[in-house]
Amino acid sequence: MPTRAFNGGVHPADRKDATSAHPITRAPVPEVLRVPLSQHLGAPCSPLVAKGDRVVRGQVTGDVEAMVSAPVHAPVDGEVTDVGPVVLASGARVVAVSITPDEVQEFDRFEPVERSESVPETVRAAGIVGLGGATFPTSVKLQPPKDMPVGTVILNGCECEPYLTCDHRTMLERPGRVIRGAELIAKAVGATRVVIAVEDNKEDAAVALRAEAGPGIEVLVLPTRYPQGAEKQLIWAVIGGEVPHGKLPAATGALVHNVTTAAAVADAVDEGRPLMERVVTVTGNVRNPGNYLTLLGTPVEALIEAAGGMSGEYGRVVAGGPMTGMALADLSVPVVKGMGGIVVLDSGDTAPAVHGDQPCIRCARCSDACPMMLEPYAIGIYANRSDWDGANRFHALDCIECGCCSFVCPTRRPLVQLIRRAKQVLLEKGASL
């Protein structure tokens, strides 16, 4: 089937070999879990438990009456030892429920969520959010606006970020759950076509999915190129639709969900399983890189220890992938729903820090690489001068912050960083998106 190539993109060394052959194993239970009540985009949850309460695995610990939100569940049996602020990987301070787990845990047993006839309601109750990293509440995406009928559900198995293999392993080890999730999502939104998109560096995952896929589910292999898994670029590749400026992706008639999210949807609907844990790729300069099924709220440092600890020099420790993830200032931050990886970057692989204002030599690599067909160099120059109107004229708000421009810049101009700043200011000023 023909697919459409998006503009530009880059080919970073993917470094997936270190973990792609490692089956998912369960990370040990840490001494204490700190489970944030805001692990999603939208309204933070209010705590439903207090210090001293006993909780069981699967119990709701936080929820809120809001459309765009997702409840949080206890990942273990244990005792609530604190309800208080915690700092996330992003630097945000949110309320978290600290749980000291019991000595013995039975992972197969959990308090199931209330299952209703409505898939979105069950998904909401299970606390499922976009597990590719966006963390937008999945239940909301399953109820698209009435005037935007969804014809195609696209499952995103591209995993175009270097180093990460958690989606790859999920597709390989749980293809049936991914397919089942795809069917449930398609039914919920009334889609007639289901496409699972995988980059061609994961042919084995495509084979595994095809073996399980019933009629009406296409497994589409796309060329490996970052950011193939970005929502707008993926929709373009699969159905040839451009998400119009300022509109929801659903305006194209396509809805994108991550493959791991789909598996979680299947588990919620079929077993009543809430989202209590996720697969995290721990890789880079650690002794035992691998894919670890990690309880939400596990401190990153405990997870790194579980992977054998850091080895050798490291440049930055990144939560998420190296192109869009966040460098951690503090390794005690908890693993959250959207954290697909911990990458201990070798100092030799880490992008050098930028000192001062390096000149743009107008090589045009940033414009050529931009999947949104922006001119990052120009937005960067305007943002550097605090000329926000200029940045807006060059469509700064359309930037998807994939980082290709900064990645290719031979003078190491902090382009996506400048554009982020411009977006922030423009949104504060209320510029029309």
Partner 1 sequence: MSAAASPTRMKVASSPHIAVRENVAHIMLWVVAALAPATLWGVWNMGMVAVVLLASCIGSSVGTEWVWNRIVRRSQTLWDGSALVTGLLLALVLPPRTPWWMGVAGGIIAIGLAKMLFGGLGWNLFNPALVGRAVLSVSWMGVLADVRPFPGGWHSVIDVPATGSLDAINGATRLAIATADRAAGGGYGIDLAAYYQPLLLRNLEGSFGEVSGLLLILGGGLLIAKRIIDWRIPAGYIATVGVLSWVFGSDPVFSILAGGVLLGAFFMATDYVTSPMTRAGRLVFGCGCGFFNVVVRLFGPMPEATTFAILFMNGLVPLIDRGFAPRTFGWVKRRG
Nearer CB in complex with partner 1: 137/325: 325
Nearer CB in complex with partner 1: 3/143: 3
Structure tokens at 244: 């119009």
Q: Rule CB under 8 A: is residue 360 a binding residue for partner 1? A: yes
- CA atoms of 300 and 192, how far apart (whole Å): 41
At residue 279's C-alpha, the angle toward residues 321 and 317, to 5°, is 35
Q: Rule CB under 8 A: is residue 394 a binding residue for partner 1? A: yes
Of the ranges 142-150, 169-177, 197-205, 325-333, which one interacts with partner 1 (CB under 8 A)?
325-333
Structure tokens at 254: 């396509």
Q: Rule CB under 8 A: is residue 282 a binding residue for partner 1? A: no
Nearer CB in complex with partner 1: 148/351: 351
Residue 337: closest CA among 128, 28, 92, 122? 128
The values of phi and psi at residue 214, to 5°, are: -80, -175
The values of phi and psi at residue 93, to 5°, are: -100, 120
Shortest Cβ 3–partner 1 spacing (Å) = 16
Q: Rule CB under 8 A: is residue 12 a binding residue for partner 1? A: yes
Residue 401: closest CA among 416, 418, 413? 416
Shortest Cβ 108–partner 1 spacing (Å) = 31
Among 232, 273, 337, 423, binds partner 1 (CB under 8 A): 232
Q: Rule CB under 8 A: is residue 367 a binding residue for partner 1? A: yes
Q: Rule CB under 8 A: is residue 243 a binding residue for partner 1? A: yes
Q: Rule CB under 8 A: is residue 361 a binding residue for partner 1? A: yes
Nearer CB in complex with partner 1: 53/305: 305
In contact, 36 and 86? CB cutoff 8 Å: yes
Amino acid at 378: A
Nearer CB in complex with partner 1: 52/309: 309
Among 372, 379, 383, 426, binds partner 1 (CB under 8 A): 372
- Scan residues 154-173 and list those touching partner 1 (CB under 8 A): 162
Shortest Cβ 317–partner 1 spacing (Å) = 7
How many residues touch partner 1 under the rule CB under 8 A: the total is 71
End-to-end CA, the chain = 34
Give every CB contact of residue 354 below 8 A, 6+ residues apart in sequence. Answer: 412, 413, 414
Q: Give the number of other Cβ atoms within 10 Å of residue 245's Cβ.
A: 11
- Scan residues 406-425 and list those touching partner 1 (CB under 8 A): 406-412, 414, 416-417, 420
Shortest Cβ 120–partner 1 spacing (Å) = 27
Nearer CB in complex with partner 1: 19/59: 19
Structure tokens at 179: 């397919």
Among 5, 50, 67, 373, binds partner 1 (CB under 8 A): 373
Q: Rule CB under 8 A: is residue 53 a binding residue for partner 1? A: no
| DSSP H or E stretch at residue 169 | helix 166-173
> Using alpha carbons only, how large is the chain's radius of gyration in Å?
21
Nearer CB in complex with partner 1: 215/356: 356
- CA atoms of 134 and 227, how far apart (whole Å): 14
Of the ranges 214-222, 267-275, 334-342, 360-368, which one interacts with partner 1 (CB under 8 A)?
360-368
Among 119, 153, 317, 342, binds partner 1 (CB under 8 A): 317
Give every CB contact of residue 353 below 8 A, 6+ residues apart in sequence. Answer: none
Of the ranges 49-57, 77-85, 113-121, 371-379, which one interacts with partner 1 (CB under 8 A)?
371-379
Q: Give the number of other Cβ atoms within 10 Å of residue 113's Cβ.
A: 25
Q: Rule CB under 8 A: is residue 364 a binding residue for partner 1? A: yes
Q: Rule CB under 8 A: is residue 374 a binding residue for partner 1? A: yes
Q: Rule CB under 8 A: is residue 308 a binding residue for partner 1? A: no
Structure tokens at 350: 């880490």
Instruction: Collapse the DSSP code of 265 into the 3-class scheme (helix H, G, I; strand E, B; otherwise coil) and give the result.
Output: helix
Residue 76: closest CA among 97, 94, 99? 99
Tell the residue number behind the tokens 């691998």, with chain if given. 290
Among 58, 315, 334, 380, binds partner 1 (CB under 8 A): 315
Q: Rule CB under 8 A: is residue 236 a binding residue for partner 1? A: yes
- CA atoms of 366 and 406, how far apart (whole Å): 7
Among 21, 94, 134, 327, binds partner 1 (CB under 8 A): 327
